Structure 1
Amino acid sequence: MAAGNGASAPTSPGAETGTRRGATVRRSREQRTSDSRLRILDAAVACLVESGYAGTTTLTIQARAGVSRGRLLHHFPSKETLLVAAAQHLAATRFASDGLASAELPPQADDPGARLDRIVDVMWTTYQEPYFWASTELWTAARTDPALAAALLPAERRLGAAIRQTLDAVFEAYAEHENYPMVREMLLTGMRGVALTYGFDPREAATDPHVAQWKQMCRVLLL
């Protein structure tokens, strides 16, 4: 009466092998799905930057990404959802990995002014990145495209909140300062506005006179 003693029957080696094989297949399938999605997003951003919103189609994105039509539509059923997802993905990824979140900043105790200057410099470089121009294409097109505007607005609000959260962490020593919220918004809106002029008047961003003004503003209002 072995069945009555509560002991589990041993698992056969073949069953264990099959389980492992099944798990590997699932992981492989999930990885391929993730990889194809990232290729589509990267291709969409590249098309936006190079060809603008009007010149970007799902067919050009599909060809650049090297995926099938069915694969593209599986991930993104419309052009609007694809382009918004692409711009937001790249912005969030780059801002976190290459921007302020990973920047080397002077210690606050050593030279508060130098730290503020460095924060301004790094912030300004993010407005020279491809994701900024991809986003700009979407913002402009959304004015006359209700479907795009409907997809863009909630995504922009989420991204804006994430960016502000990162800035709050970087400006940590000043986050409680009464002037900080104003300074943060003036930097974000001011840099965005100046950066837009580079679309028709390209020049050396590092020597833009506004950079010195933003630094002075931070020192005057936060130190």
Structure 2
Amino acid sequence: MTTERTPVSRTRAQRSQDSRARILDAAVACLIDGGYSGATTLTIQSEAAVSRGRLLHHFPSRDRLLVAAAQHLAVKRVADTEERVRRVVEQNPPADVFERADRVIELLWESFSEPHFWASIELWTAARVNGEIADALRPEEKRLGAAIRASMARMFGEELASRPRFKQLRDLLLTSMRGTSLTYTFEPRDPRADAMLAQWKDLARLLLGR
């Protein structure tokens, strides 16, 4: 009997997993397209093409759904950025550790113009006046922050990540890139030509030894 039930159980589990993923993807799309106020459960339900019952089964709270969606995408983007760095380094090995740092900074900066960043900003802004979303966001951001810090150490490589002022550089890059990205909301431009990019690279040399 157990053998007969297993395929059915797996199929149901897979269907549940697929519908959850669709809901998360739909929530991110709604956050990006309509902002926090536009990402209603009805809009998300329609975008995901799931029933009301299915949506509420996975996420009884709208705010927790939005937090889960943004974090889900952000974790994926952290992994994707790290993988891009790995491929770039393998395909065209840098001449030295600072050339590697330049490439990491370029790819890291690219990630601040991607959907996950804007979805997270929508939630951060909402959290200022919404206690429920702030409570849901706080532990998730702590976990995400730890994942980002670990990923950055791997991307820069052991030689640079072990230097005394690496943590200072890491935190300055993250906060500065976040702030610079926000100016793009009212002044769209090509991020690859941003004057800050050269300054971040200079900062890496200054803090890490050259």
Q: CA deviation at 1:107?
A: 4.0
Q: Which runs of 5+ in 2 are unaligned?
A: none
Q: Which runs of 5+ in 1 are unaligned?
A: 1-17
Q: Distance in 2 between matches of 1:165 and 1:112?
A: 18
The C-alpha deviation readout for 1:89-111, integer Å capped at 9, x for no partner, is 00001220x21244222546x32
Q: Pairwise mapping of residues 54-203 of structure 1 onto structure 2 (< 5 A)?
A: 54-96=37-79, 98-103=80-85, 104-105=88-89, 107=93, 110-171=95-156, 172-203=158-189
Q: Structure 1 length as normaliser, TM-score?
A: 0.88
Report percent identity of matched pairs: 53
**Is 2:25 the counterpart of 1:25?**
no
Indicate the structure with greater helix content: 2
Q: Distance in 1 between matches of 2:163 and 2:83?
A: 21
SS in 1 for 2:36: coil
Greater RCO structure (CA 8 Å; 6+ sep): 2
Give the CA RMSD over aligned residues: 1.2
How many residue pairs are counted as aligned between the two chains?
A: 204
Amino acid at match of 1:100: E
Q: Distance in 1 between matches of 2:164 and 2:31?
A: 39
